[in-house]
């Protein structure tokens, strides 16, 4: 039946992320994150073997109202994005467009740079792509917080009152579209520029099916950012790489934590642009939008519809204010 096919398709789409080395929740990365968490709890927090295991896999962390909403949003988004993604501007379109445009810009295509050693080209491409991608994530993430209309959508992610690795999928589809376009632009432009100048020498340094830096980030840090395990780094390191605890601060409802630590893998952007905050693993963090979060805050219909209403109200508030000012002025001018 067609309905069955759709359900099977969506199920496959959801499950595929656990088997794709390019995704954060690839089963190997989840396993390695659990191992890192275990080592941290056992040797840094001095928990017993079983206490550490119980803490990592505690039902309270993985099966609460907020977590269940995460899973539902992930399922709905998988279905929605499988329809939306093919219609979005992709890396391929951007890369080809920029590659072609550069021929006109440079009146041809230089040959000489192809003689540079391949190892240098591979290293340069891998590092620059990682750095630019991370910077773009920082910029977009910061805008999602600072631009009121965008914040209306990003609030869905911050409405999580408990964090687990699948919270990374708790997002409004509008934000999904924004992130997809960001990725397409940054990756498409970087790939096109490198290929244009360095041709066949350009390759991504890969480990087990993923770019080396993404692999390292995903294998050891990415899944602990959204978790209840507070792992902090030595302060000088936290200026360069964001620790899981630093990202958990980003989710904290405490006012002094607001608009801090927008970075993804690198902390240098936060440091340079004054949004940096060190972790304090002794501090008890409360996650969410406010202390008044209720079960209602995790209702699916609210998570999907409320952002549109709020974004509309935010976008139209200057017009409403202008009308009020005019109305007041008219009333005051009456005899």
The encoded tokens of residue 317 equal 């508030």
Which residues have CB under 8 Å from 174's CB, separation 6+? 153, 307
Task: To the nearest 10°, report the CA torsion of 209, 215, 219, 221.
Answer: -160
Q: Is 51 in the site for another protein (CB under 8 A)?
A: no
Calculate ∠ Cα 110-115-117, nearest 5°. 135
E strand spans, 175-235: 206-207, 210-211
CA–CA distances in Å: residue 178 to residues 8, 28, 146: 27, 28, 15
Q: Is 23 in the site for another protein (CB under 8 A)?
A: yes
Task: Determine which residue in the list 106, 119, 308, 312 makes contact with another protein, applying CB under 8 A.
Answer: 106
Dihedrals φ, ψ of 87, to 5°? -90, -5
Instruction: Judge contact between 32 and 219, C-beta under 8 A.
Output: yes
Q: How far is CA 233 from CA 144, 209, 224, 239, 245, in A?
A: 26, 28, 13, 9, 8
Q: Which of 218, 191, 170, 185 is nearest to 25 (CA)?
A: 218
CB of 157 to another protein, least distance (A): 5
Q: How far is the CB of 83 from another protein (least distance, A)?
A: 11
Contact characters 235-254, another protein, x per CB under 8 A: ------------x--x----
Residue selected from 141, 155, 228, 276 as contacting another protein according to rule CB under 8 A: 141
| SS3 state at 23 | coil
Tell me if 181 contacts another protein by CB under 8 A.
yes
Shortest Å distance, C-beta 18 to another protein: 13
Q: Which of residues 25-44 bind another protein (CB under 8 A)?
A: none
Phi, psi for residue 101 in degrees, rounded to 5: -65, -35
Is residue 58 within 8 Å of 154, Cβ to Cβ?
Answer: no
Smallest gap from Cβ 109 to another protein, in A, equals 5
With binding defined as CB under 8 A, does residue 168 bind another protein? yes
Radius of gyration of the chain (CA): 23
Here the tokens at position 155 are 């609030």
**How far apart are CB 222 and another protein at their closest, in Å?**
9
Using rule CB under 8 A, residue 142 touches another protein: no
Q: Determine if 171 is a binding residue for another protein (CB under 8 A).
A: yes
Identity of the residue, 49 or 273, whose beta carbon is nearer to another protein in the bound complex: 273
The DSSP element (H or E) to which 148 belongs, if any, is: helix 148-158
Which position among 176, 244, 288, 307 is part of the footprint of another protein (CB under 8 A)? 176
Q: Which is nearer to another protein, 48 or 85 (CB)?
A: 85
Within 8 A by CB and 6+ apart from 193, the residues are: 98, 102
Q: Looking at 52, 67, 162, 177, which residue binds another protein (CB under 8 A)?
A: 177
Query: Which of the stretches 40-48, 55-63, 181-189, 322-330 binds another protein when contact is defined by CB under 8 A?
Result: 181-189
From 47, 71, 90, 304, residue interacting with another protein (rule: CB under 8 A):
90
Q: Select the span of 54-62, 192-200, 276-284, 318-326 touching another protein (CB under 8 A).
A: 192-200
Is residue 229 at the binding interface for another protein, with CB under 8 A as the rule? no
The binding site for another protein (CB under 8 A) comprises 17, 20, 22-24, 77-78, 81, 85, 88, 90-92, 95-96, 99-100, 103-104, 106-112, 129, 137, 141, 154, 157, 168-171, 175-184, 187-188, 191-192, 194-195, 199-200, 202-204, 206, 210-211, 225, 247, 250, 262, 264
């Amino acid at each position: 039946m067609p309905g069955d096919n759709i359900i099977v398709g969506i199920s496959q789409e959801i499950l595929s992320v656990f088997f794709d080395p390019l995704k954060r929740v690839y089963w190997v990365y989840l396993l390695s994150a659990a191992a890192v968490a275990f080592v941290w709890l056992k040797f840094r927090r001095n928990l017993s073997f079983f206490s550490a295991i119980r803490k990592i896999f505690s039902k309270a962390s993985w099966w609460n109202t907020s977590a269940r909403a995460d899973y539902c949003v992930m399922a709905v988004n998988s279905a929605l994005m499988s329809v939306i993604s093919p219609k979005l501007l992709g890396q391929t379109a951007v890369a080809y467009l920029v590659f072609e445009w550069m021929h006109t810009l440079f009146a041809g295509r230089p040959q000489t740079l192809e003689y540079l050693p391949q190892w240098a080209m591979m290293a340069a491409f891998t590092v620059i792509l990682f750095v630019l991608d991370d910077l773009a994530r920082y910029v977009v993430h910061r805008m999602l917080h600072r631009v009121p209309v965008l914040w209306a959508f990003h609030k869905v992610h911050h409405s999580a009152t408990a964090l687990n690795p699948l919270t990374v999928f708790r997002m409004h589809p509008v934000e999904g579209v924004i992130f997809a376009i960001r990725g397409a632009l940054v990756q498409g432009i970087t790939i096109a520029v490198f290929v244009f100048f360095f041709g066949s020498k350009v390759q991504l340094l890969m480990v087990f099916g993923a770019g080396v830096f993404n692999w390292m980030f995903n294998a050891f840090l990415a899944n602990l950012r959204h978790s209840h395990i507070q792992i902090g780094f030595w302060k000088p390191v936290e200026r360069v790489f964001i620790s899981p605890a630093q990202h958990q601060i980003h989710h904290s409802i405490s006012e002094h934590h607001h608009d801090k630590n927008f970075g993804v893998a690198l902390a240098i952007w936060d440091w340079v642009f004054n949004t940096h905050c060190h972790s304090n693993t002794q501090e008890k963090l409360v996650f969410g939008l406010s202390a008044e979060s209720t079960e209602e805050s995790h209702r699916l219909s609210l998570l999907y519809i409320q952002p549109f209403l709020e974004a509309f109200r935010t976008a139209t508030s200057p017009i409403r204010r202008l009308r009020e000012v005019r109305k007041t002025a008219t009333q005051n001018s009456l005899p």
